[in-house]
Structure 1
Amino acid sequence: MKTTKRYLLITSGVLFSILATAFTFLLPPEMKFEELKHNFGFIRQGEIVSHEFTFTNNGDEPLLITNAEVQCVCTTVDFPKQPVMKGQKAVVKITFDTKSAIDRQERTVTLTSNAKNSPTVLTFKAVVLKKKE
């Protein structure tokens, strides 16, 4: 009986050590974007333009975007609300409404997540030409 208890205790300890070691090798989520900047070029005032920024979760754990902060109400952001799993690609879509913009514009979107490289800043720019009368 004493030997059985000792065997179970040793086996449990070894299994716990193996599991604990395995979990220490998991890489935290990492957002790897294909691009961090986009140039819309020349557009007319009043146009609404969009761009999709594609990223991959290069970590082992699920990646969750918790917030997207924009500089002005002219910009909206659509991002995944569900976790992005290891190796999975996803898209952050930025929409820019130029109705109140004119001339050179540069805006940023700051994404907060559980990724090791959070926050991530996406940038877009455009030259907004006056609307034709």
Structure 2
Amino acid sequence: DKPLITLGDFNWKEEQKAIFTLKNTGGSPLVIQDVTTSCGCTTVSYSKEPIQPGKEITLEVVYKAEHPEHFSKTVTVYCNTASSPIRLSLSGDAK
């Protein structure tokens, strides 16, 4: 639904979570083949089941700062669509 989520300011010692929603707007099942992140401080969890046409899936992204910093991280979703890969962004200020 949104390719960018901004977390704003937060305590760098606290893990942050964001939810991205992908909707299958095609006519066949959407299969997520792989998801990569731009660093080890970001993890993603999601259902590995194919997403049927018209249905949605959520990707839970967890960011754990290693130190106070402004950050911008990328989550890349590889799937069986012409628009693959899909790039999602997460940013904020860990203080």
TM-score when normalising by structure 1: 0.69
CA contact (8 A) 1:112 1:119 kept: yes
After superposition, give the CA deviation of every residue in 1:25-83 in whole Å (9 maximum; x if it has no partner). Answer: xxxxxxxxx10000000011111011111121000010000111111111000122010
Give, as a single letter, the amino acid of the residue that structure 2 aligns with 1:35: K
Give runs of ≥4 in structure 1 deviating > 2 Å. Answer: none
Structure 2 residues not aligned, in runs of 5+: none
Q: Tell me how far apart the structure 2 counterparts of residues 45 and 56 of structure 1 sit (CA, whole Å).
A: 32
Structure 1 residues not aligned, in runs of 5+: 1-33
Q: Which residue of 1 aligns with 2:14?
A: 47
Q: Which residue of 2 aligns with 1:113?
A: 79
Q: Which residue of 2 aligns with 1:122?
A: 88
Aligned residue pairs, count: 95
Q: Tell me how far apart the structure 1 counterparts of residues 47 and 29 of structure 2 sit (CA, whole Å).
A: 12
Q: Which residue of 2 aligns with 1:92?
A: 59
Q: Which residue of 2 aligns with 1:3?
A: none
Q: CA RMSD in A?
A: 0.8
Q: Hey, which of these two has a bigger chunk of strand by percent?
A: 2
Between 1 and 2, higher relative CO (CA 8 Å, sep ≥ 6) is seen in 2
Q: Tell me how far apart the structure 1 counterparts of residues 75 and 81 of structure 2 sit (CA, whole Å).
A: 16
Q: Hey, which of these two has a bigger chunk of helix by percent?
A: 1
Percent sequence identity is 25
